[in-house]
Amino acid sequence: MENIITKKESVAVIGAGYTGLTVGYRLSQEGYAVTVYEKSPLTGGLVAGFDMDGIPLERAYHFLYTTDRDVINLSEEVGVDKDLTFHDSSVSTYYDGTLYPFMTPFDLLKFTPLSLWDRIRTGAVGFYLQKLTNWKPLTKVTAQEWLTKWNGKRATEIIWTPLLKGKFDKYYDKVTMCWLWSRIHVRANSKDSTQEKLGYFKGGFRVLSDALTDRIVQSDGAIYTSSNISEISTEATGKLKVHTDDVSTTKTFDHVVSTTPSHIFGKLTEHHPQMTSDYLQKLSAIDYIGAVVMVFSTEQEISDYYWHNINDDRIPFLVLLSKTSLSGKESTGGRYLYYIGEYVPHDHRYFSMDKNAIMDEWKDGLGKMFDHFDATQIKSEELFTFRNAQHIVDIGYEDKIPSYKTPVKNLYLANFSQIFPDDRGVNYAVKEGEMIAQMILEHKPWPGHDA
pLDDT score, position 196: 86
Are residues 387 and 424 both part of a single domain?
no
Q: What is the mean pLDDT of residues 107-133?
A: 95
- 324: pLDDT confidence band, cut at 50, 70 and 90? very high
pLDDT score, position 293: 97
pLDDT score, position 192: 65
List, as one string, the DSSP characters of 349-381.
Answer: GGGTS-HHHHHHHHHHHHHHH-TT--GGGEEEE
Asked if the structure places residue 26 within a domain, the reply is yes
Contact of 336 with 404, CB cutoff 8 Å: no
Are residues 322 and 366 both part of a single domain?
yes
pLDDT tens-place string over residues 132-183: 999 999 999 999 999 999 999 999 999 999 999 999 999 999 999 999 999 8
Are residues 176 and 222 both part of a single domain?
no
Q: What is the mean pLDDT of residues 338-345?
A: 96
What's the mean pLDDT when you consider all of the chain? 93
Are residues 387 and 295 both part of a single domain?
yes
59 by DSSP, 3-state: which? Answer: coil
Query: How many angstroms separate the CA atoms of 336 and 183, rounded?
Result: 28
Asked if the structure places residue 92 within a domain, the reply is no
pLDDT score, position 3: 37
CA angle 375, 380, 86 (to 5 degrees): 100
Which backbone phi and psi does 312 adopt, to 5 degrees? -145, 115
pLDDT score, position 445: 86
Asked if the structure places residue 419 within a domain, the reply is yes
Length of the chain: 451
**Torsion of Cα atoms, 328 then 332 then 336 then 338, to 10°:** -100
Q: Which residue has the higher pLDDT, 189 or 119?
A: 119
pLDDT tens-place string over residues 46-90: 888 899 999 999 999 999 999 999 999 999 999 999 999 999 999
**Of 391, 406, 432, at which residue does a domain stop?**
391
List, as one string, the DSSP characters of 186-252.
Answer: HHHHT-BTTB-EEEEETT-THHHHHHHHHHHHHTT-EEE-S--EEEEEE-TTS-EEEEESSGGG-EE
**Of 376, 391, 406, at which residue does a domain stop?**
391
Least confident piece of the model among 48-52, 122-126, 157-161, 357-361: 48-52
pLDDT score, position 2: 38
pLDDT > 90 fraction of the chain, expressed in percent and rounded: 86
pLDDT tens-place string over residues 263-297: 999 999 999 999 999 999 999 999 999 999 999 99
Query: How many angstroms separate the CA atoms of 325 and 306, rounded?
Result: 5
Task: Give yes or no for residue 362 having a pLDDT over 90.
Answer: yes
- 5: pLDDT confidence band, cut at 50, 70 and 90? very low
Asked if the structure places residue 364 within a domain, the reply is yes
Asked if the structure places residue 449 within a domain, the reply is no
Are residues 29 and 45 both part of a single domain?
yes
Domain ranges, residue 152: 104-158+172-189
- 211: pLDDT confidence band, cut at 50, 70 and 90? very high
pLDDT tens-place string over residues 226-237: 999 999 999 999
**Of 350, 366, 391, at which residue does a domain stop?**
391
Asked if the structure places residue 68 within a domain, the reply is no
Task: Give yes or no for residue 193 having a pLDDT over 70.
Answer: no
Are residues 281 and 292 both part of a single domain?
no
Query: How many angstroms separate the CA atoms of 128 and 414, rounded?
Result: 32
- What is this structure's pTM? 0.93
Radius of gyration of the chain (CA): 23
Asked if the structure places residue 367 within a domain, the reply is yes
Are residues 225 and 214 both part of a single domain?
yes
Asked if the structure places residue 82 within a domain, the reply is no
Q: Which residues make beta-bridge pairs with 65?
A: 198
Task: Say which CATH number the domain at 386 has.
Answer: 3.90.660.20
Describe the chain by its helix, strand, coil percentages, rounded to 5.
40, 25, 35
pLDDT score, position 412: 98
Q: What is the mean pLDDT of residues 301-317?
A: 95
For the chain, how many structural domains are there in total?
3
Query: How many angstroms separate the CA atoms of 424 and 188, rounded?
Result: 17
Are residues 297 and 328 both part of a single domain?
yes
Q: What is the mean pLDDT of residues 5-24?
A: 89
Are residues 381 and 401 both part of a single domain?
no
User: CA nearest 322: which of 310, 305, 309?
Assistant: 305
Task: Report the side by side order of strands in the sheet with 251-253.
Answer: 229-234, 240-244, 251-253
Are residues 301 and 385 both part of a single domain?
yes
Task: Say which CATH number the domain at 277 has.
Answer: 3.50.50.60
407 by DSSP, 3-state: which? Answer: coil
pLDDT score, position 450: 62
Are residues 266 and 232 both part of a single domain?
yes
Q: What is the mean pLDDT of residues 353-369?
A: 97
Task: Give yes or no for residue 118 having a pLDDT over 70.
Answer: yes
Are residues 293 and 341 both part of a single domain?
yes
